[in-house]
Each structure stands twice: as structure tokens, then as C-alpha cells.
Structure 1
Amino acid sequence: DDSGRRGVRVFARSGEGAWTRHATGSLGSAVPAPDAVEGVWPPAGAESVALDGMYERLAEHGYHYGPVFQGLTSAWRSGEAWYAEIALPADTDVSGYGIHPALLDAALHTLAAATGGAVEEVRLPFNFAGVGLYATGATALRVQLTPVDESGDTVTFHLTDP
């Protein structure tokens, strides 16, 4: 709009059912760009986390992700911090998006990796703050997830393209 903000709405549906709006908000350019992430990737000493069967376990409990939304490809842990790589299938069109919804969703799947894909408590983010977008057209991202407190209910995500 005229103030540099962009409206955003998040919808989902099951199969051919009706679309349900789950969130609305706005994005703008008020957040200053962070410093570039430099160094070895994944960070030295980070331990690889097996993701084998994670999406299958989620599907067994009713959380079905189509092929475009199964973008979490690798994950690591170092202390309380989690690191991941995510990617869209090669033929996914990202034009028209600041960040493709499936790519953002896959970044959030790092939360599922943090629980080993356990589904007793699927954690879905519902409040975002301090979000900034500094480049468009990404088809792959690196994710850093850091808990803000001991509860693990609040986390910081940092996404960068390779």
C-alpha cells in the first residue's frame, strides 16, 4: 500500500473442503536488516538430526503435507539452537511471493524436528513479531531456530538463502 506495508492472510483446508482463514496481518519494511550470517554451515560442533519418516509420522496423526510442503531436508542441533536446510521442489514457481508459503512453512517444520517429529504436541506458531524480508525469489533457505526462554514457547527464527 502507500505506506509500504503488504497485507497477508494465512488459509488452510483439508482435501477439497472449504478454506479456513487462520491468521491475518501486515508486513512492512520497518525492521532493520540484520547482519549477514557468516562462517561454517552448519556451525562447527552441531550434531546432525535424523529426519527419516518425520512427515510420515505426522501424516499418521492427521498432519498431511503435500510434496511442495515437505521441504525440510536436513537439521542439526547445537546446544539449544537448531539449524536446518529447506528447499522447494525444483519446478515450484516462486514468482509473485515475497517468500513462497511452502518455504516459510518448511522453515517452521524445524519445530517438528526439534521434537523428533513427535506428534503428541504439534506446535504451531500463531504470533510473529519483528519480521523483515530483505530478498525475494528464494527456493532454498537455511534456518536457525533459537528458543527465547526455557519454556520453548517463544523462539527466534533467522532465515537466509545460501
Structure 2
Amino acid sequence: MFLSLRFTHCVLVFCSLTVCGCFGGSAEQIERAAVSGTITYDGKPLPEGSIQFVPGTDASGKPLRGKAVQALISEGAFSLDADQGPVVGMNQVLINATKKTGKFQEFDGQKTEILKQYIPAKYNTNSTLTYEIKSGENTADFALETK
């Protein structure tokens, strides 16, 4: 019985330390910021698509902590509030837009239209776009071209 009480006591102490954050420090806060902007493609607002901000590296070359975030583009505009925004620092930017092909595929009895990416790969899968997110409000405008 003494062993059982000692084990229970140890479990309770471990749980309280873990809940209090005393067992390895508190979680590091990742600074995010608001961002909005416009996307044009060949001089016209991108009708619809998505934009992603992927954390890059800091000034010393260390990878920034945090997750990639995404916003929908509508009529060339996008916006993310600070609580859902990208990590402060340099971010790689990926912009995607698809259009219907008129071709269909069937999967599990469901027929869906095939979509095709029409933005060049240098803006998404092989993106060369970057943007430095700063504390506070950010405006990130991108002018994309076919060539």
C-alpha cells in the first residue's frame, strides 16, 4: 500500500509540474502579424486563388519557427488577421490559381471536373517569391506575369 501511495503521489506531482509549465519552461510564443494585399496576373486582378506564407530563416540563417498560413484570393485581394497571420520574418510566398479544363474524372462513383494550375511554377511549386513580415500591419502586393 505504501508503494501505491508513493506512486500516486509521484504521478500527481508530475501532472502538476506539467500543467504549471514548470517541467521544461513555458511554450515559446511565435510572433505573427496581419497581412493584406493585392495580386495581379498580367496586369489584371487575379479572380480567385490562394496565397501561402511559409516561414523562412532569420537574419542569422536559422529557420523561423511556426506553420505556413494560407489566405484565399478573391478579385485580386487577400487578408489575414494577426492571430491567423504569417510568422514575423522572411517568408517564402506561394500563389496558386486553377481553372476548369472541361475534362472529368470519376473517383468512388463521384464525377469531378479536373482543374489545371495556370500560374507559372515560379510563383508556386518552384516559387522565387519572398516577403518580409514585420510586426503590426503589412501590405504585400504581387504583380505576376505569364513569362
Q: TM-score scaled to structure 2, two decimals?
A: 0.29
Q: TM-score scaled to structure 1, two decimals?
A: 0.27
Structure whose alpha-carbon radius of gyration is higher: 2
